[in-house]
């Protein structure tokens, strides 16, 4: 079985946490990226700007959003911030299309219209990493890829990625790209954390390893559950930001939190940082895409880059998280 599927148990070191190339693209980013899904509903305009400023100050470069986040307000807020920085090319802007109610699906016409709307909201002339969000079998795949090819040739998009796509779909796109010179998925987004391991480790990671694709790990703290602050359903805040944490409450979740706390005590760290460091230590992960409701939270999460997990720590965490 592939090491990517079973989990490489080498210790994570600071050297391994230098900037990484995203799959087959030429995008090189620090291992922590910023998730813009909270912008526009959990974070207002002023707080969003402060978070983005702090992200840049900490050395972050990749900001990830989607056209449907907060009905487009996330992109608008990021665009407003982009206007105020001197060097647009110092920021890697990633967005997703396919799920906005006004541009749903991946038909050629919808893709072209959706990307133009994204560019307008983001107030930029190009998107560095555009993801097809979902598979949308109602739209012919060759039509979707032709639209992406046109956007790349026009300079509106630099690289294509996938979100919510199966390993089979990623392999199919690769085959079509080889045969017909279509653009290929250079990377993919996947929910990956100590509570959600199977999709990446058993299905997507082997395909990524075979095709040389990079993975961008979303929700590395499992909707906040791995912070250790929520032990019962009554403790989970009503915010949509933490809603997904509820499904992890139970015996397995309790085991994982206990293991995180044990490793955190050993390292003089926190459960959040250990959980994030575990994701960053895994082969094939180009970056972990983190959510932060304020600049202080973001600063804390960046400290995960200096958490060195040993083989023993990784083994203990993974034993506790087995289904």
> Domain for residue 174, yes or no?
yes
Q: Which residue has the tokens 């990524």?
A: 208
Q: What phi and psi values does residue 183 have, to the nearest 5 degrees?
A: -65, 145
> Domain for residue 158, yes or no?
yes
- Report the percent of the chain where pLDDT is more than 90: 81
Question: What is the three-class DSSP state of 6?
Answer: helix
Where is 264: in which H helix or E strand?
helix 251-267
> Into how many domains does the chain fold?
1
> Domain for residue 265, yes or no?
no
Q: Which residue range forms the structural domain that includes residue 49?
A: 3-249+271-308
Q: What phi and psi values does residue 175 have, to the nearest 5 degrees?
A: -65, -45
Q: What pLDDT sits at residue 319? A: 97
- Please write the tens of the pLDDT for every residue from 241-276: 666 777 888 899 999 999 999 999 999 999 999 999
Nearest residue to 164 via CA among 133, 195, 141: 133
> Domain for residue 71, yes or no?
yes
Instruction: Give dist(CA 1, CA 212) in Å, integer.
Output: 17
Q: What pLDDT sits at residue 15? A: 33
> Domain for residue 256, yes or no?
no
The more confidently predicted of residues 21 and 10 is 21
Q: What pLDDT sits at residue 232? A: 62
> Domain for residue 317, yes or no?
no
CATH number of residue 158's parent domain: 3.20.20.100
Instruction: Give dist(CA 64, CA 27) in Å, integer.
Output: 13
Q: What phi and psi values does residue 290 have, to the nearest 5 degrees?
A: -100, 150
Long-range contacts at 258-265 (CB < 8 A, ≥ 24 apart) = 258/320, 259/316, 259/317, 259/319, 259/320, 259/321, 260/194, 260/226, 260/228, 260/317, 261/228, 262/316, 263/309, 263/313, 263/316, 263/317
Residue 4 pLDDT grade (very low, low, confident, very high; cuts 50, 70, 90) = very low
In this predicted structure, the answer to whether residue 7 has a pLDDT above a threshold of 70 is no
> Domain for residue 36, yes or no?
yes
> Domain for residue 9, yes or no?
yes
Cβ contact 32:62 at 8 Å: no
To 5 degrees, how large is the angle CA 118–CA 45–CA 54?
95
Determine the average pLDDT of the residues in 56-72: 96
- Please write the tens of the pLDDT for every residue from 82-107: 999 989 999 999 999 999 999 999 99
């Amino acid at each position: 079985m592939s090491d990517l599927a079973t989990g490489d148990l080498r210790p994570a070191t600071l050297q391994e946490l230098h900037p990484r190339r995203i799959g087959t693209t030429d995008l090189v980013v620090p291992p922590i990226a910023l998730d813009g899904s909270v912008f526009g509903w959990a974070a207002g305009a002023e707080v969003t700007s402060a978070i983005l400023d702090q992200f840049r100050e900490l050395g972050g470069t990749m900001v990830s959003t989607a056209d449907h986040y907060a009905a487009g307000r996330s992109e608008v807020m990021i665009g407003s911030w982009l206007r105020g920085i001197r060097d647009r090319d110092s920021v890697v802007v990633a967005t997703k299309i396919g799920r906005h109610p006004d541009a749903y699906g991946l038909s050629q016409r919808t893709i072209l219209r959706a990307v133009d709307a994204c560019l307008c909201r983001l107030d930029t002339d190009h998107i560095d990493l555009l993801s097809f969000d979902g598979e949308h079998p109602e739209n012919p795949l060759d039509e979707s890829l032709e639209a992406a090819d046109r956007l790349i040739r026009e300079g509106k998009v630099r690289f294509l990625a996938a979100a919510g796509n199966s390993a089979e779909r990623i392999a199919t796109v690769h085959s079509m790209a080889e045969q017909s010179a279509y653009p290929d998925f250079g990377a993919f987004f996947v929910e990956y954390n100590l509570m959600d391991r199977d999709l990446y480790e058993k299905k997507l990671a082997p395909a990524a390893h075979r095709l040389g694709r990079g993975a961008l790990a979303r929700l590395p703290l499992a909707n906040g559950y791995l912070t250790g602050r929520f032990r019962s359903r009554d403790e989970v805040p009503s915010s949509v930001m933490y809603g997904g944490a509820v499904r992890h409450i139970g015996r397995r979740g309790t085991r994982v939190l206990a293991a995180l706390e044990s490793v955190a005590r050993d390292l003089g760290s926190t459960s959040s940082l250990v959980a994030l460091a575990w994701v960053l230590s895994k082969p094939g992960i180009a970056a972990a895409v983190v959510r932060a409701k304020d600049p202080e939270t973001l600063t804390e999460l960046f400290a995960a880059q200096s958490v060195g997990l040993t083989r023993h720590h990784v083994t203990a965490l993974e034993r506790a998280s087995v289904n």
